[in-house]
Amino acid sequence: MGTIAAAAVCKADNCARAVTGTQRGLAAQTSAKNDCSSFLKATVYPSTVTSTVTITVFPSTVTSTSFSTTTTIIQTVIVGTSSVVASTETDSTVVQTVTVNQRRAAASPQTTGTVRPSSVPTYASACSGVVRYSSACSCWGVTQTTTTMPTPATYRTITVSATASTTIVSLVTYTSTFSQTITTSATTTTTALVTATATAPAGNAYCPNGQAVNGLSPACKRGPCASFNLRIEGESETVYEGIILTGPEDITTPSGGTHLCDGTNNNANPSPAGTGITCIADAAGLCGFSFDGTWSSSFQNFFITRIGTSDSNASGGCQTQPPPGNELLWAFDAFNANNFLDVQPRTANLKLGDVAVFTVTGRDGNGGGGSNAVAGATFNGLPTNANGQVVYVANQVGTYRIKATRGGDIRSPAAIITVTA
């Protein structure tokens, strides 16, 4: 299926398309996801613990000496938040066995190691390296795993003879302590934040069936509360467009259960606020559509898999705190879109018989460059010219919401046109 994703932080570039694109077929996509899972799997190999026992044979009047070794393994897991990093630190001491005649057994250093895949698949050659490939896999919803192998153990016995006739009793215990530090990383996916000026009247928003709702009416029970210009572009329709009031919330999904979503998840932000996913939840409450997503305990984040009737690959949003007043866009199949369309002007007040010119532009789906004129887009049933322009004739009184569309592109925000007599 497609991907609901943010256009900014999880970059929809050639690397992401090479990893998650559907052009190679379902079987290849399943194989690619298995490759991601294998690539994000780290295997920890503990060191071999060797215990040495020395048996000293004395005359009948001599008491034997026994020795013991104790190994303590301290494992510390540190979770980061920026990139996939593999780091292994080993602090080893030497275990020695002392016999009655003061001869010393050979030192046996303890070492540890963490093995991670480092070969990027050939089909993902567009990725610049392991960090970029790992990030694309994480954006696809694949989580990192760590497997610790069993600690191997060996034993050796040394037997020596003593000629002394003196009774010697000795008990010596040595303790070897080493640590394994496994540093992992959490790369999160956030939504696209497109700065724009709100054009709809305060509190005015629209549901999939065209029903107007008051986007400032949701009860914000846990502050701070703020309003955003939310737009959700599904596979075949606009699911929600307009202002929305939101704040920190407990989010519940069929697949993920109930968890707090306030932007501080996994220490992504220092203080709580509304997020990309709380906006979805409040819009769903107004318009009656449903959504679903899985919960990742390691990332402390919901990964949205469906909004309305549009299924998609997972995309996170509990760690995104858009600035108040900005436009927040959730777009179906964003990774494979050619352009994110826009139309100007966003509002027009015309008299009956007036003629107005609207311009359709597009922003590269890969996130590069600025906006360019889009030819061949459809606006009010008419195609745009080479300069992205199309003529609108005000021939009927009323208020109209018209979007620009083109195959392979994300729909534009609605231009609101009011025609009076």
Which structure tokens are listed for 116?
A: 């991670």
Q: What is the dihedral of CA 361, 362, 367, 369, to 10 degrees?
A: -50
Alpha helices in 92-205 (DSSP H): 130-139
Q: What is the pLDDT of residues 358-381, one digit of tens each?
A: 999 999 866 666 889 999 999 999
Supply the Cα-derived Rg of the chain in whole angstroms: 32
Question: In 352-394, which ranges are continuous DSSP H helix?
Answer: none
Half-sphere exposure of 233 (CA within 13 A, CB side): 27
The answer to whether residue 107 scores a pLDDT higher than 60 is no
Residue 56: per-residue pLDDT = 57
Are the CB atoms for 261 and 190 separated by under 8 Å? no
d(C-alpha 345, C-alpha 283), whole Å:
26
Q: What is the pLDDT of residue 266?
A: 92
Q: What per-residue confidence (pLDDT) applies to 185?
A: 39
What is the rounded CA–CA span in Å between residue 314 and residue 20?
11
What's the CA gap between 2 and 8, in Å, rounded?
Answer: 17
Strands (E) in 264-322, as ranges, are 291-296, 301-307, 310-316
Give the type of residue at 184: T
Instruction: Please report the pLDDT score of residue 116 as a whole number.
Output: 82
pLDDT of 130 higher than 60: yes
Q: What angle do CA 286, 288, 290 make, to 5 degrees?
A: 120
Confidence check: pLDDT of 178 > 60 = no
Q: Evaluate whether 390 touches 403 at the Cβ level (below 8 Å).
A: no
What is the reported pLDDT for 166?
42
Whole-number percent of the chain with pLDDT over 70:
69
Which domains are seen in the chain, by residue range?
Answer: 35-184 (no CATH), 188-336 (no CATH), 338-421 (2.60.40.10)
The model's pLDDT over 321-355, given as tens digits with 9 standing for 90+, comes to: 888 878 888 888 888 888 999 999 999 999 999 99
pLDDT tens for 25-71 read 777 878 888 889 888 888 888 877 766 656 555 555 444 444 444 44
CA distance 94 to 174: 9
Can you tell me the mean pLDDT for 74-98? 37
The pLDDT assigned to 398 comes to: 94
pTM of the model: 0.51
Give the per-residue pLDDT at 10: 72
